[in-house]
Amino acid sequence: NVVVMLGTQISIPKEYEDLKYVRVPARSKVKSCFGFLNGSLSRMTDALLSYLRKHRDEYDICIINGSLTGGKTVKKIEKMGIRTMVIFHNYEVEYHRDNRTIISLKGHFLGAIKRAEKLSYMNSSVGIFLTQNDVDLFAEVYGESEAKKVIVGTFDYKNKAKDSAGGVEKKYSIVI
């Protein structure tokens, strides 16, 4: 049994129309800006919890795309008897600081992001990471997690990868 939660503005490719979808509308600007007060940093947070409360007996595993959705939800989902897998795309604090996102109120409220990411990391059953560097960084920043860690890609640090032919530094390289 698979269900995919998507924003209402996202179109579904024909080859995936047979999956079950739950459409989640965009939040108001007020909820987007002040979600950090109650830990709802993603529009998927409350929708996911509401859906799983009604359908908890139908699922063994919940895959959460991103630590901000996972922050408020992981412990609650695990208490329902559903294992959680969180996909960690990057170190969110750094991303939101560098990009001055609306969720962080232009980089001023990074504490809520760090708290959500730590909750996701420390309480999920499985953490899915893009790089070993991310696994190491999370352990350094948040401590050791009992979650199984899976690395699904590789990424060289910015300005650290050398071109094998001439030793020229590249800005970045990625393989997934």
The tokens describing 114, both together, are: 């760090």
Q: What is the mean pLDDT of each run of 10 residues along the chain (176 residues)?
A: 73 83 75 64 77 90 85 91 90 70 56 86 94 90 93 63 47 44
pLDDT at 136: 92
Q: What is the phi/psi pair of residue 62, to 5°?
A: -120, 120
Contact between residue 152 and residue 174 where contact means Cβ atoms under 8 Å apart:
no
**Nearest alpha carbon to residue 88 among 46, 135, 49:** 135
**Residue 34 parent element (H or E):** helix 29-34
- In which element (H, E) is residue 4 found? strand 3-7
Burial (0-12, 13-18, 19+ Cβ within 10 Å), 144: exposed
- Beta strands at 126-129 and 148-151: parallel, antiparallel or unpaired: parallel
- 48: closest CA among 22, 11, 10, 87? 22
Q: How far apart are CA 143 and CA 155, in angstroms?
A: 22
Q: Which residue has the tokens 């630590």?
A: 67
Amino acid identity at 14: K
